[in-house]
């Protein structure tokens, strides 16, 4: 197990632009293991969350790891190459905000992403709806952008209120 500490909003590392991963020089397997172990433990602790990006554990590399019951995706050096003009509103939060509150954000309905997977293969994949907004959030982390930068209409609610919304 290699669970890392998740940085909290205010930590300046979250505002740095991450560097490209170099398959020749970088310990890619270690990055993936750190992200996976940290994500799994945080999912258990917080009972929420689908993905994590390198900068969230202070690893300033362009890598995102997603794991849900249905799916696992490792994105290395991801690039959004297409965004739908169509947008939708999302109540978003982040482990870096301790998932304590949610903010209303506007995200593209669909995106196309080019990335390298954990085996070094080039992937071009389209995502819509929940996965589209998820990867927009994660790829923002690689640019030092946080969901709080994208909140519209000053709409913030605490997690307990969000849970009422999502259960109704």
Chain contacts with Zn ion (rule: CB under 5 A): 94
Between 21 and 142, whose beta carbon lies closer to Zn ion? 142
121 labelled catalytic: no
Minimum distance, C-beta of residue 94 to Zn ion, in the bound complex (Å) = 3
Between 94 and 131, whose beta carbon lies closer to Zn ion? 94
Between 110 and 145, whose beta carbon lies closer to Zn ion? 145
Catalytic residue (choose from 24, 138, 143, 161): 138
Q: Residue 144: which of 55, 66, 35, 83 has the closest Cα?
A: 55
Minimum distance, C-beta of residue 140 to Zn ion, in the bound complex (Å) = 8
Task: List strand residue ranges (DSSP E) for 12-117, in order.
Answer: 51-53, 63-67, 72-83, 87-92, 101-108, 110-116
Buried b (16+ CB within 10 A) or exposed e, 74-85: bbbbbebeeeee
Residues classed as catalytic: 138
């Amino acid at each position: 197990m290699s669970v890392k500490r998740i940085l909290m909003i205010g930590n300046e590392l979250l505002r740095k632009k991450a560097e490209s991963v170099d398959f020749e020089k970088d310990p890619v397997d270690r990055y993936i293991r750190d992200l996976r172990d940290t994500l799994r433990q945080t999912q258990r602790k917080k009972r929420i969350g689908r993905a994590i990006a390198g900068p969230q554990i202070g690893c300033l590399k362009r890598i995102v790891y997603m794991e849900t019951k249905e799916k696992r995706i490792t994105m290395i050096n991801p690039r959004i190459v297409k965004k739908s003009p169509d947008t939708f509103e999302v109540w978003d939060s982040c482990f870096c905000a301790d998932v304590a509150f949610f903010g209303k954000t506007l995200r593209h309905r669909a995106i196309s992403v080019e990335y390298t997977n954990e085996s070094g293969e080039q992937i071009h994949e389209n995502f819509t709806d929940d996965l589209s907004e998820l990867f927009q959030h994660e790829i923002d982390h690689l640019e030092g952008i946080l969901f709080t930068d994208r909140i519209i209409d000053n709409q913030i609610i605490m997690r307990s209120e969000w849970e009422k919304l999502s259960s109704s």
